[in-house]
Amino acid sequence: MSTSTPETTIDADPNVPVVRIVREFDAPPPRVFACHADPELFARWCGPDDVAMTVETWDFRTGGSWRFHHMRGADTYSFYGSFHEVRPDELIVQTFTFCGVPDGVALEHLRFVALSGGRTRLEASSLVDSFEGRDAMLSSGMDVGVRDGYAKLDAVLATG
């Protein structure tokens, strides 16, 4: 296992309203995928360090749905979506909606790429309907949530 924190890249495509995120993990695809599939594991790592998370609905299958809540003090931030395609250890295609902006639906692809040494590269993309929506997502603090979350995911993976 590496001792340095892996880099998380977050890029906005200049031609399409999409955000691309890439991060490598010191675990094979089945373990990284399991942390996305299991609601208890997902709740341990998803989101910024300063929020608590509860999962309301988690029907992890092609055609299933999900809904969770992040709590920060007295504030609650709710999110929901549908799992459009689930291919174990390989791919998750889902929608992602923040309840505060219900018209801002993102289509997300998460690919779990096997690397040498039992590692995984997670390649994620979030496509929204406008550049304004993409820019709002980027300025919302999403980058902090992604980076904090992936650091927590490293810890979950390290505990086996």
How confident is the model at residue 4, as a pLDDT?
A: 62
Q: Sketch out the chain's domains with CATH numbers.
A: 10-158 (3.30.530.20)
Each residue's pLDDT tens digit, 38-49? 999 999 999 999
Name the pTM for this structure: 0.93
Q: How does 90-123 read in b/e, with b if 16+ C-beta sit within 10 Å?
A: eebbbbbbbeeeeebbbbbbbbbeeeeeebbbbe
Q: What is the mean pLDDT of each run of 10 residues along the chain (160 residues)?
A: 73 95 98 98 96 97 98 96 98 95 92 98 96 90 93 93
At residue 7, the pLDDT reads: 92
The predicted structure's pLDDT at residue 104: 85
